Structure 1
Amino acid sequence: MADQADNNAAAPTVGVALLGMGTVGTEVLRILQEDAQDFTARTGGPIEVRGIAVSDLSKPRPGVSSELLTDDAFGLVNREDIDLVIEVIGGIDYPRTVVLAALRAGKSVVTANKALVAAHAGELSEAADSSGADLFFEAAVAAAIPVVGPLRRSLAGDRVNQVMGIVNGTTNFILDAMYKRGASYDEMLAEATALGYAEADPSADVDGYDAASKAAILANLAFHSPVGSDDVHVEGIRSINVADIEAAKAAGCTIKLLAICERLVDDEGQESVSARVYPALIPLDHPLSSVSESFNAIFVVAEYAGRLMFYGNGAGGAPTASAVLGDVVAAARNIVHGGRAPGMSTYANLPVGDFGSVRTRYHVDMVVDDRPGVLAEVASTFSVQGVSLKTVRQEDAGDAGARLVVITHHAAESDLESTVDNLKNLDAVKAVNSVIRMEGN
């Protein structure tokens, strides 16, 4: 033990700059200080926080030395005694300039900023490669759930065909409660806000943009191709209602907001990438259907490894800090012992495919005239676009007519869109209540 202690004492100290002292930053600092000896043992040398950049120096920060605080992030990351930068500010434009400055100065960076990585992965990776620094971002996707590392390292020798997951806890809490309690979207959004799962402005969550940033990162890693947040097709959950939930139950499914990244191959063998976010029906026997409350899960299908699933807390201060600190240990070990982590390879450079060519199944709920021949008219409308029907269920809708619920076989998005447009123009169809995709089968 003495020899080990002497080795650690002789090892260089890793100087850390912490950018941001919100919920995650506060947890990161606390754990680093409380478990300092463990971190020294894990990395082979001491880790010392030498500066903390904050936006408001006047804000009380109990237990934090004022000598550590600064509002000059650029000055901090460029100091000679800083080796590693932890960025937990959030946002895109300002953090981008600071992180780029750090990477170009040869300082390794650990970030939890999904929006930043999704929007500027290529630029950040290039800066890291040019200076030989490390860029880690495990916490940017699903917090404590280890999925970035497996995609970068464990599956580096495999061919990933699909990544599909529940990557937003707020929307999963809302949809799960709607399914179990029969409550409305508005009721569960209000409860999610009261419990702190949803922000005062929930748009990033319920409109799918948070999940889209994570989908872009996952697609980039899984398919070794440049995919940005603007390349992701995004639909949120605001339109999901009690009737949709009941229809899902009748079909033996539940509804989840899914981030789906998929390798597409056309009839000529040309490959492309699809990245999309939308609410979808999932069969109750699929592993993702049982992911409840605010938990996250990511399902990976690889050529050789087969089906893999990663599950756990996808948000929160402590889980996110856990992922950040895992990256800190890896980056610090490389600084102490030499070496570098795998970068973001985009060697495949696959194009982003046309969303209209994506193929999946659909659940179409409509109200039609209750008279002979209507079913044949509806079926013909699907057939004209080459969309075949798997099941048709008819229910009495009272004076409104008949409720017709159609589940299709796999069909192209563009063909289904044309079908729905034609249904709306069909005299026999009074209303198309909803069109929800079906995934996982």
Structure 2
Amino acid sequence: MIQVYIRPTSEICKSILNRTIQDSSNIKKLVYPIIDNVKKYGDLALNTYTKKYDYADVKCIQVTEKDFDEADMKVSNQLKKSIEIAYQNIKCFHQKQIHEETPIEVSKGVFCWRKMIPIEKVGFYIPGGSAPLFSTILMLGIPGKLSGCSNIILCTPPNRNGDIHPAILYTARYVGITRIYKVGGAQAISAMAYGTESIPSVYKIFGPGNSYVTIAKEIVFQKGIVSIDMPAGPSEVVIMADDTANPEYVASDLLSQSEHDPESYILLVTTNNQFWIEKIQKELKKQFLDISNKQDIIEKSLKNSKIVIFNSLDECMTLINQIAPEHLIINCRNASYWGEKVINAGSVFLGNYSPVSAGDYVSGTNHILPTYGYAKCYSGVSIDSFVKKITFQKISKKGLKNLSECVNILSSEEGLFAHKKSINIRLKNES
């Protein structure tokens, strides 16, 4: 079911690093006109695309109070309780990320500091359909609200009846987001970037989506219209395992990530022998048969997956840091020790009892993470994603005098004599 590589050469390791690269040229040809038409025709274009792609005739784009009330009645008390628990854990983790910086006197009479300012207008894209990702509302809404963003909107596609999944509406209102619009796809991204009669434009767009949504986010970002959370690709998991790892648990983690997308990047690196690998293969087949849905997606995903056997855990970790996976599970003796050696990863899960599924929903960390190797230079969503930090400085006359000689020398060397004058004109009466 999964390809196995035993002590691979450096060339094979390079091939293991590669993610599946889809040709996006055809998608871009479809997305560019959608973006332009929404920019030009606004709500009319949105309604046209909603009929075309979602098969829904939406009379009112914005969700009403009645919609929220009806959703509340449809969500079970059990689900409400689970959302509440997840909310509290995620809020607890993210709240600790808020730090107010104090002024620093870098030299006599020279004070510098930074102030954290929330981004005023942000937009969330939440996929709907067969997998309504209401958990993503928690992951975006909680840090967005804690950061103090004053205007948060949310776009999500309607079903054929023109309705939004009740769990999405309930979770959004629970978090405090009530400006929700029934629009999906690339057209939703364009609406949030440019604004329409109904949907206001925003400064930054967050959230996952299909290839069309991903390409649309990249296009409006490249045009300089809005910022986006991060580049996105299919979901990823890398598991590092030694002889203390439970094959049953490892197989379940491989399967849980494979149900996201047929293009999911899934890799198991281990120092264990072929006999242990055979246990994994048997466990995968056994658990696969117990899964009632998404078997087609899982099967395609596992065909692209790999198991790599190395002589040492150091070799495993070297490859992992080159991969920079979205999710990294370390199922090893002294997992915390190996965790300290991680340089590139979106989120790390230590030990047999820290599955990715816990982080996806309720442990507290954010599940919106860099994929495609972007963990080498990007972080997952956090409080920092919703703020910008403005630097301030206040310099006394004496402090400026202390700096003047240094500024004069540096600015003169660069040929910027007006810079030099702006210092000296303030000190011309000094003896």
TM-score range, shorter chain: 0.3 to 0.5
TM-score after normalising by structure 1: 0.34
Q: If each structure's helix is expressed as a fraction of its own residues, which one has the higher value? A: 2
| Structure in which a larger fraction of residues adopt strand | 1
TM-score normalised according to structure 2 size: 0.35
Higher relative contact order (CA 8 A, sep 6+): 2
